[in-house]
Amino acid sequence: MNKMIEIYVNGEQQQVPTDYSVEQLQQQYATSQQVAIALNNQVLPRRFWAQRLLMAGDQVLMFNLVAGG
Amino acid sequence: MFTIANTSLPQLLLGSGKFSSPAMMIDAIRASGTGLVTVALKRLKPGEPSHDLISPLRQTGVKILPNTSGAVNAKEAVFAAELARELLQTHWVKLEIHPDPRFLMPDPEQTLIAARELVKLGFVVLPYCSADPMLCLRLQEAGCAAVMPLGAAIGSNQGLQTQAMLEIIIEQAKVPVIVDAGLGLPSHACAALEMGASAVLVNTAIATAADPVQAAHGFRLAVEAGAAAQAARCAPASKQAHASSPVAALLSFLS
């Protein structure tokens, strides 16, 4: 079994396997809608999601669009 | 119609908040004839059900304008704009920074700082701002594509409380002036257009009406009326009467 690492998703601690990509994390959270992702307070463009593997201590912020004025 | 960054838009812009359902929102958007609808960003909450807002909005054909609501300073607003750009593939942003939760008054200093930064980063910046003529000039100088001074507090339905200041802003502006926030009735929107505003942005007044589709229709007609009045360059008011029928002594031979 893969070793697990700890990351933070929208401020909450979470464990993921060592070879887990940002894209896999995104699919775990949001399959039916578009999201934007920031990694360690930098916007991470979608084209990097598949190749960027999560590392221990990474802070991931995930945003979607909601109604607003 | 009016133009922002070479894009022609109807003069009624809509916010997407507070509708009782997504279907109601779409019906109201269609009834309003708008070409631009604002949306907001939110952090996903694990386990919370979420709705796809964008697909139904895209089906209406409107342009989607993300706002930076929730940002309490310039740094957060720039970050929100970058996230929205990545999410929607648009470089348009409605800049709004209102740290005060009670009156939701826009922070003029942080808004100007963020506007300068966002323009440098290549954004088309539409700042929600106080109805302050000097601030609007500064935002225009900063390169904003329009200014969006408030009529009254967000969601307050109080109408054009800032009318005298809006008149100065409109007279001085070289970019479109979009009166945003506080409009409660179609007549408020009509008055804003009559004064020379390029457009109005309406959300609460439509979304929280008992019949939002009728409200949207009413605002659409009011904006058309105001735009026609603006184009007509209606004559100014005067204190004394000016006869519109002949008043020469018609029956003076009787006296």
Instruction: Render pLDDT for B76-99 as a digit per residue (tens, 0 to 9).
Output: 999 999 999 999 999 999 999 999
3-class SS of residue B4? strand
Is B40 in Cβ contact with A65 (below 8 Å)? yes
H or E stretch covering B116:
helix B108-120
Using a CB-CB cut-off of 8 Å, the residues of chain B touching A43 are 79, 82-83, 86
Please, which residues bridge with residue B178 across strands?
Answer: B199
E-state strands within B30-168: 36-43, 63-66, 92-95, 124-129, 148-149
Structure tokens at A18: 């060592």
The answer to whether residues B7 and B30 touch, using CB atoms and an 8 Å cutoff, is: no
| Domain at B2-234, CATH from 3.30.1130.10, 3.40.109.10, 3.20.20.70, 3.30.70.1400 | 3.20.20.70
Task: Give A 4-23 residues with CB within 8 A of chain B.
Answer: 9-10, 12
How far is CA A27 from each of CA A32, A44, A65, B1, rounded to the nearest angstrom? 9, 15, 16, 41
pLDDT tens digits, B156-202: 999 999 999 999 999 999 999 999 999 999 999 999 999 999 999 99
3-state SS track over chain A: CCCEEEEEECCEEEEEECCCEHHHHHHHHCCCCCCEEEECCEECCHHHCCCCECCCCCEEEEEEEEECC
User: Which regions of chain B are under pLDDT 70?
Assistant: 46-47, 49-50
Is B69 in Cβ contact with A12 (below 8 Å)? no
A4-63 carries CATH number 3.10.20.30: yes
Chain A nearest C-alpha distance from B58 (Å): 13
Domain residue ranges in chain A? 4-63
Residue count (chain A): 69
What ipTM describes this predicted complex? 0.89
- Rounded to two decimals, the pTM is 0.91
pLDDT tens digits, A22-59: 999 998 887 767 899 999 999 999 999 999 999 999 99
